[in-house]
Amino acid sequence: GSHVSRGSRNFIPLDYTMMTEYATSVVQHVRPTESELVMKDTILRRISDICNNLVPGSRVVPFGSLVSGFATKGADMDVIFSHDTIEPQPSSMDSNIPIRLANEFLKRGFEVDLLIRTRVPILKVKTPSPGLEPGSRPSSPSAEHVLKETIEEDPWPENISCDIGFKNHLGITNSHFLRTYSQCDPRFGEMVLFIKQWSKNRDLNSPYFGTLSSYGYVLMVAHFLINIVQPPVLPNLQLIPPEPDTPLSEVSQDGYNIWYFKDLSRIESGDLLPGGKNEMSLGQLIHEFFQYYTTNFNFVSEVVTIRTPGGVMYKQEKGWTSARERVGEMTTYQDRYLLALEDPFEISHNVGRTCGGAGVRRIRGEMQRAAQMIRKLSTPFLHENAGRHA
Ligand code: ATP
Ligand code: MG
């Protein structure tokens, strides 16, 4: 008997040549340039220097798309304030540090915003235009030189904003985890960049305003490539058991199971994907992604997980059924389960909790629209007809 996956619903064979070309050009367009990456590296070192000035021994450690490789042009930088001597116990830190640091950046001409409605405080700093910094002390002349040069040859991302977090036990870990997955198959990163761009264009990427974070979309893509498409594009790296001599630090952190398989040579050899290599084009994968989430995935009862065999759990079994209030660091916030995306390590955390009812409806509506557009673009019959009647 032939095996029909949850994702495939095509009865007319579609031709994805045009969609693949289109998606490839979008991906090329949104990828950051080499000079942007150099500039961001310079800015990161400056930010670290400012932290170190205020709290000797402190620095910022990048995570998010800078680490995972899923950054788009002009993307924010995500970093964590870290202190060598008291790491990894940021709770014992001076709780005024976010405010004192905010002042420090203000003094140097950065635009500063301290967010406290979030789960943990986030300090947003935006780089000043070079040359306009009052009292700025460049860390080294070469760093300043590179900064100036890269901005002059590639003028558009003048203001790069950097989110500084103060407590993020697993963000660094999950960014490296996603990076490992992205190294398994180039189509993962390509799909992520395309979906991120789509979600931004359609105004579906605003976690503070009721829709989903990029991280949430990345998990949706990963689930699709690990569990749904047949044969899978990605193996499930969390289900391959660790060797007995694996150091504990690779297996557990803050009481969470953080193990995942990291041996890229075995990943590349393909022996982790016994079903054979998936040869689908980027265009087809994107279409099937949208189709899966609009017609097969049940938003009402199901939870996207990427850690479990099969990758789908039920809200009922996770107890993710009704909204509840939680008391955070500086505010209370709501846990909602309208769109349920289980974090790969912090499995009690719903990455989709930022989505309200209206947000979920819009995301689903836009996915439906995208799937229809791709179907039209990829139906050979329609193009032949259009040609004949023209
Ligand atoms: P962008 O380029 O749009 O900023 P990104 O790839 O950096 O995208 P973000 O959504 O900014 O993705 O997430 C960066 C990191 O922040 C993730 O790796 C994750 O650790 C953490 N993160 C973001 N949103 C959530 C969330 N809802 N729950 C838990 N962690 C999150
Ligand atoms: Mg980010």
- Residues 6+ away with beta carbon under 8 Å from 238: 259, 260, 261, 306, 307, 344
199 lines ligand 1 (CB under 6 A): no
- Judged by its nearest atom, the ligand closest to the C-alpha of residue 211 is 1
Per-residue confidence (pLDDT) for residue 382, from 0 to 100: 54
In sequence order, which ranges of 79-184 are alpha helices (DSSP H)? 97-107, 141-153, 171-184
CA of 301 to the centre of ligand 1 (A): 24
64 lines ligand 1 (CB under 6 A): yes
291 lines ligand 1 (CB under 6 A): no
* Best CA proximity match to 212, nearest among 203, 220, 221, 204: 204
- φ and ψ at 36, to 5 degrees? -65, -40
- φ and ψ at 226, to 5 degrees? -85, -45
Per-residue confidence (pLDDT) for residue 385, from 0 to 100: 54
Bridging pattern class, strands 161-165 and 77-83: parallel
Domains of the chain: 17-28+171-389 (1.10.1410.10), 34-165 (3.30.460.10)
Whether 134 and 108 have beta carbons less than 8 Å apart is answered as yes
Test site for ligand 1: of 213, 254, 346, most ligand atoms within 8 A of the Cβ? 213
Look at ligand 1, atom 22, and give the residue with the nearest C-alpha: 215
CA of 259 to the centre of ligand 1 (A): 20
Per-residue pLDDT tens digits of the chain, which is 390 residues long: 344 455 555 567 999 999 999 999 999 999 999 999 999 999 999 999 999 999 999 999 999 999 999 999 989 999 999 987 544 444 445 678 899 999 999 998 899 999 877 777 899 999 876 544 444 444 444 555 555 544 444 433 467 899 999 887 799 999 999 999 999 999 999 999 999 999 999 999 999 899 999 999 999 999 999 999 999 999 999 999 999 999 999 999 999 999 999 998 888 888 899 889 999 999 999 999 999 999 999 999 999 999 999 999 999 999 999 877 777 666 666 778 999 999 999 999 999 999 999 999 999 999 999 999 999 999 987 555 555 554
Q: Give ion ligand 2 contacts, CB < 5 A.
A: 64-65, 76, 78
Per-residue confidence (pLDDT) for residue 352, from 0 to 100: 97
Per-residue confidence (pLDDT) for residue 2, from 0 to 100: 42
Per-residue confidence (pLDDT) for residue 109, from 0 to 100: 87
Per-residue confidence (pLDDT) for residue 132, from 0 to 100: 45
> What is the ipTM for the molecules in this complex?
0.95
Q: What's the rounded Cα separation, in Å, for the pair 235 and 272?
A: 6
Per-residue confidence (pLDDT) for residue 29, from 0 to 100: 95
In sequence order, which ranges of 276-346 are alpha helices (DSSP H)? 282-291, 315-318
Distant-in-sequence contacts of 290-293, Cβ < 8 A, 24+ apart: 290/367, 290/368, 290/370, 290/371, 290/374, 291/7, 291/9, 291/371, 292/6, 292/7, 292/224, 292/228, 293/220, 293/224, 293/364, 293/367
